[in-house]
Structures are given as structure tokens and as C-alpha cells.
């Protein structure tokens, strides 16, 4: 395409979800490569909407020119973060970016102070906007498969787990000797081999605290390098993955739930036995865990929990039990939540390109 025909401006908007890892990624090397394979549910309600407006610069220079508003207000912290990220990757992946002024405007569907990490939804939305821009300018990502693979690759460079948010239902990331097409560079969609029961699984996110994390996930991954259990942990994750994939295929919600809980507790145990040690769960997380286990024992309903790198509890259960579980949640768990906040989420269909 000649220079004259390249678009001078445009507006792109993507909605991209958060995700919840069932087998956790914890420990990385090189440029955001995972030490073990992970797999996640793509969520629906917890998402970021990012709009990118691009305008060609009058005079081309070698700088990334960018402004960033978050929920309608200028946000310097995000502006610096995204600028640093684009400065790092543009030469290799989007060399045209320096010819444009970029304005990003971003919204989260969940409250800012909810303790929900927004890096997966935010970074995946950003990556999708950049890939669409490339395609609008050069038509180089017209192939849908290629488009999503590049989006996943770029999202990974922004925040490892974000690479999984690109695909519907479930996504798997990290190379595994026994899993075809698995890769450290991109996540792969994992929807064909999962039983329908998991395609509309519930994930009620119980917000137990609105506090910022005391240790960033970058620092947390870093501490795995000297964790004495690191090697056995990576081996365990890769072995659990195979058991989990079988449970997903068979629709075995009990085995699925047992692995989800074991993985969540392993993640937090690894934090506690890092040097220095730190703890991201709080007494309310333990209280909820005990209530969930008692409820399961009493009712035989397959409700299990998971946690991300924070105190909030993700309550996982099949759609068919929604009304029963709902009374348990409203009566026993909601009163324990920060400002009674719960995000009633579910497995979702992945990112959506929105009209401007």
C-alpha cells in the first residue's frame, strides 16, 4: 500500500474480559514466559472497554505520543505505564505507532477499588486495539486466526495472564509436552474439548477487601526464583493440568473443583513460603472458605472456590444450581463482603469489538 492511501485517523473500541486461572501461572522467565502451563475461564461481566483514537502526526518523530484517560479522567500513572510498554514493543511489533498521536480512553465494568486486578482485561483490550489499528492501516492481520494470535502475544508482553483473555470460554497458556499446540508465546483457545457444563459455569466474585495488593504480581513471580519448592511446584502444575483436562472433558465438576481449590491454596502457600514471606488472604477469606466447604458437605452441591493474587473469593458452580447457591450466597456470604459487593460473573464469550 502506498503512503498516500494509509489512513490518517481512526477510532477503535474493544471490550475485553478478565480471566480466572484454574491452574495458576506463578513464576516466569525471559520476556514473560511462564514456568508452567496454566488454564483459565474467560469471564463475562468483569471486563475493560478501551477506545483508541489515532491521528497522524504533522511531523513524524521518534517518540511515542500518547494520552490516557481512565473512566473519563486523565490518568498519568496509566499513561506512563502504557507509554513505557509501547516504547518497549513498537519497533519490533508496531513500527507505525510513532507516526501517530494515540489517545486511549478506558473503562472497567467493575469498581476501581474492588481489589479486582484489571491487568488481564486492560492489557488484552489494549493489544486488541493495536492489532485492529495495524489491520486498518496495512491489512496485515485480516486472517482472524493470525489477528488473535498476535493479540494474545502482545497481551502477554503487557501482562502474562492477559494473553488468555483473548479467547472464549477457556484458554491455555504455556508449553506442555503432552498438549498439542501449547505455547509459551501465546495462549490457545480451549473450548472444543470441554464439556458443556463448563461453558456457562458461574463465578461469583466475592469482594472481601478493596485494598490494593501489598505485593505486585511482578514481585511475586520474582520471588519464585528462590522459592525452595519452585521446581516441584512447576512439575505439580503440569501434572495437575492433565488431570484437569480430563475432568473438563468428562464434565466432572467434583474433580474440577478439587483441583481449583488445591491450585488456589497452592498459589497462596507459595507466597507464604517465599523469602520474604507475604500473605494476601485475610481472615475473611478463611471464613468464607470454611463456609463454602461446610455448605458443600451439607448439600452435596459442587460449589468450590478459587482465589487470584488477593483476598477475594471466586465461587465456582454449575448453572443448574444457581437458585440454591444464590440463597447461600445472599444469606451467608454477602454480609461478609466489603460493602456487600459481589460480581455475579460467568464464563463468557471473549472479547468484543464495539461500534464507536
Name the residues that contact ligand PMV, by CB under 6 A: 21, 24-26, 38, 119, 159-161, 217, 267, 308-309
CB of 160 to ligand PMV, least distance (A): 4
CB of 38 to ligand PMV, least distance (A): 4
Question: CB of 337 within 8 A of CB of 344?
Answer: no
Question: CB of 344 within 8 A of CB of 118?
Answer: no
Q: What is the sign of the dihedral through the CA atoms of 235, 236, 237 and 243?
A: positive
Pick 97 or 116: Cβ nearer ligand PMV:
116
List residues bridging with 54 in a β-sheet.
10, 102
CA–CA separation, 158 and 115 (whole Å): 20
CB of 28 to ligand PMV, least distance (A): 7
Q: Which candidate, 269, 266, 255, 253, places its Cα nearest to that of 317?
A: 253
Pairing assessment for the beta strands 100-108 and 304-307 based on DSSP bridges: unpaired
CB of 308 to ligand PMV, least distance (A): 5
CB of 218 to ligand PMV, least distance (A): 6
Pick 134 or 345: Cβ nearer ligand PMV:
345
CB of 309 to ligand PMV, least distance (A): 4
Pick 215 or 336: Cβ nearer ligand PMV:
215
Q: Which candidate, 150, 183, 250, places its Cα nearest to that of 34?
A: 183
CB of 136 to ligand PMV, least distance (A): 28
- As a whole number of Å, the end-to-end CA separation of the chain is 26
CB of 140 to ligand PMV, least distance (A): 27
Pick 25 or 94: Cβ nearer ligand PMV:
25
CA–CA separation, 243 and 265 (whole Å): 17
Look at phi and psi of residue 182 and say left if phi exceeds 0, alpha if psi is from -120 to 50, else beta.
Answer: beta
Vertex 18: Cα angle to 13 and 23 (nearest 5): 145
Pick 141 or 205: Cβ nearer ligand PMV:
205
Q: Which candidate, 265, 266, 247, 267, places its Cα nearest to that of 256?
A: 247
Pick 160 or 302: Cβ nearer ligand PMV:
160
CA–CA separation, 54 and 59 (whole Å): 15
Pick 97 or 281: Cβ nearer ligand PMV:
281
Helices 119-138 and 144-158 meet at what angle, rounded to 10?
A: 140
Residue 150 in grid coordinates: 498476535
Pick 98 or 221: Cβ nearer ligand PMV:
221
Amino acid at each position: 500500500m502506498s503512503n498516500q492511501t494509509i489512513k490518517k485517523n481512526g477510532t477503535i473500541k474493544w471490550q475485553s474480559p478478565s480471566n480466572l486461572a484454574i491452574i495458576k501461572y506463578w513464576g516466569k522467565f525471559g520476556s514473560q514466559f511462564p514456568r508452567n502451563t496454566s488454564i483459565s475461564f474467560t469471564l463475562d461481566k468483569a471486563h475493560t472497554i478501551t477506545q483508541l483514537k489515532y491521528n497522524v502526526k504533522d511531523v513524524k518523530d521518534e517518540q511515542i505520543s500518547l494520552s490516557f484517560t481512565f473512566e473519563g479522567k486523565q490518568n498519568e500513572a496509566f499513561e506512563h505505564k502504557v507509554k513505557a510498554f509501547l516504547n518497549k514493543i513498537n519497533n519490533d511489533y508496531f513500527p507505525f505507532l510513532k507516526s501517530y498521536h494515540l489517545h486511549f480512553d478506558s473503562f472497567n465494568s467493575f469498581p476501581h477499588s474492588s481489589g479486582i486486578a484489571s491487568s488481564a482485561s486492560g492489557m488484552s483490550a489494549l493489544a486488541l486495539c493495536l492489532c485492529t489499528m495495524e489491520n486498518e492501516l496495512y491489512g496485515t492481520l485480516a486472517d482472524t486466526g493470525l489477528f488473535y494470535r498476535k493479540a494474545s502475544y502482545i497481551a502477554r508482553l503487557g501482562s502474562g495472564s492477559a494473553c488468555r483473555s483473548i479467547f472464549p470460554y477457556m484458554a491455555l497458556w504455556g508449553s506442555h509436552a503432552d498438549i498439542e499446540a501449547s505455547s509459551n508465546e501465546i495462549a490457545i483457545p480451549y473450548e472444543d474439548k470441554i464439556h458443556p457444563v463448563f461453558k456457562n459455569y458461574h463465578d461469583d466474585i466475592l469482594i472481601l477487601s478493596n485494598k490494593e495488593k501489598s505485593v505486585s504480581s511482578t514481585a511475586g513471580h520474582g520471588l519464585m526464583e528462590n522459592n525452595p519448592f519452585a521446581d516441584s511446584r512447576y512439575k505439580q502444575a503440569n501434572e495437575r493440568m492433565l488431570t484437569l483436562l480430563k475432568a473438563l472433558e468428562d464434565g466432572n465438576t467434583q474433580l474440577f473443583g478439587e483441583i481449583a481449590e488445591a491450585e488456589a491454596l497452592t498459589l497462596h502457600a507459595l507466597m507464604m513460603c517465599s523469602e520474604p514471606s507475604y500473605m494476601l488472604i485475610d481472615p475473611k477469606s478463611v471464613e468464607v472458605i470454611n463456609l463454602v466447604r461446610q455448605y458443600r458437605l451439607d448439600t452435596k452441591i459442587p460449589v468450590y472456590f478459587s482465589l487470584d493474587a488477593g483476598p477475594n473469593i471466586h465461587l465456582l458452580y454449575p448453572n443448574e444450581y444457581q437458585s440454591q447457591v444464590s440463597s447461600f450466597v445472599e444469606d451467608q456470604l454477602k454480609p461478609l463482603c466489603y460493602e456487600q459487593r459481589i460480581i455475579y460473573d460467568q464464563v463468557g464469550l471473549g472479547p468484543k469489538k464495539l461500534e464507536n
